[in-house]
């Protein structure tokens, strides 16, 4: 029996990076996965890869900046699989370092919408099904940046702090229904998004960066029945960025 055998997961931001690694790891652990992002081709390739495992895969192109897309992916996944056992709100965008005084208001709102509002609204759309089943796991991707503010990073860090708070509130609301909600707060992970945001060449340049698979392994545990003691909390996965080592 694999850890996620028979489970159904919905993962946002799965076209690359941490979300893709989580989708692959969940598939290897026996889950069926519904994956979403804006990049159709990357999702189709991922779905083909995951679909060769024990579970099924469903690719859904969607823009989390569009409210109707959020409801559509929830409905499509629920229609296809009949239920969602695990929701991973992973999709996120980073913005260039800019002080609030100079920040483009439209970009500030877009970061909030994609990183925070979409996670809340997708959770809201999936929760009735989890409540009906009296079971479920919600995993939100916050960040080491959710632990404190930083110059030039206001919108991103507000969303990541907000996800920690959202997780606590939702966990308190749904624990009576057998549903757990947790946050993962990664330190630096070598992904396309990280490389773009920081002009980095990844682990070739900074071997202290984590691999996306290291976060995926934690997500597999949190998605599994073994993690029943863990809810309403944010788990730091800082790797070598842990202040203990710096």
Active site residues: 156
Q: Is 46 in the site for ligand NDP (CB under 6 A)?
A: no
> Applying CB under 6 A, which of residues 25, 55, 90, 219 lies at the interface with ligand NDP?
90
Q: Which is nearer to ligand NDP, 32 or 36 (CB)?
A: 36
Rule CB under 6 A: is residue 26 a binding residue for ligand NDP?
no
Q: For ligand NDP, which residue of 16, 147, 177, 203 counts as binding (CB under 6 A)? A: 16
Phi and psi at 172, nearest 5°, equal: -65, -35
Angle at 168 between CA 165 and CA 172, to 5 degrees: 145
CB of 78: closest distance to ligand NDP in angstroms?
A: 19
Q: Counting contacts by CB under 6 A, is residue 211 touching ligand NDP?
A: no
* Residue 15 lies near ligand NDP (rule: CB under 6 A): yes
Locate tokens 């597999």: which residue? 220
Distance CA 71, CA 36 (A): 12
The string of DSSP letters for 55-88 reads: S-EEEEE--TTSHHHHHHHHHHHHHHHS--SEEE
Cβ atoms of 189 and 210 within 8 Å: the answer is yes
Pick out residues in 120-179 that bind ligand NDP (CB under 6 A).
141, 143-144
Tell me the site size for ligand NDP, rule CB under 6 A: 29
Rank residues 65 and 165 by Cβ distance to ligand NDP and give the closer one: 65
On the CB side of 205, CA atoms within 13 Å amount to 11
Q: Which of 53, 55, 136, 188 binds ligand NDP (CB under 6 A)?
A: 188
Q: How many secondary structure helices (H) and strands (E) does the chain include?
A: 8, 7
- Residues of the shown chain interacting with ligand NDP in the complex, contacts defined by CB under 6 A: 13-19, 37-39, 62-65, 90-93, 114, 141, 143-144, 186, 188-189, 191-194
């Amino acid at each position: 029996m694999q850890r996620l055998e028979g489970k159904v997961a919905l993962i946002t931001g799965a076209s690359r990076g941490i979300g893709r690694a989580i989708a692959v790891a969940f598939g290897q652990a026996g889950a069926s996965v519904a994956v979403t992002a804006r990049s159709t081709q990357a999702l189709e390739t991922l779905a083909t890869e995951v679909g060769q495992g024990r579970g099924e895969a469903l690719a859904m192109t969607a823009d989390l900046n569009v409210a109707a897309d959020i409801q559509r992916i929830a409905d499509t996944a629920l229609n296809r699989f009949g239920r969602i056992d695990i929701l991973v709100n992973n999709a996120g965008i980073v913005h260039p370092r800019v002080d609030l005084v100079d920040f483009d208001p439209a970009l500030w709102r877009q970061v909030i919408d994609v990183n925070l509002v979409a996670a809340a609204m997708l959770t809201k759309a999936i929760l009735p099904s989890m409540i009906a089943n009296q079971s479920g796991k919600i995993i939100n991707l916050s960040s080491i940046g959710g632990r404190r503010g930083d110059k030039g990073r206001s919108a991103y860090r507000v969303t990541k702090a907000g996800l920690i708070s959202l997780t606590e509130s939702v966990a308190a609301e749904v624990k009576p229904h057998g549903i757990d909600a947790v946050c993962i707060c990664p330190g630096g992970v070598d992904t396309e998004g990280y490389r773009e945001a920081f002009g980095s060449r990844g682990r070739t340049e900074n071997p202290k960066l984590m691999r996306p698979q290291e976060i995926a392994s934690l997500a597999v545990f949190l998605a599994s029945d073994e993690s029943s003691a863990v809810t309403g909390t944010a788990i730091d996965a800082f790797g070598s960025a842990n202040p203990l080592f710096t």
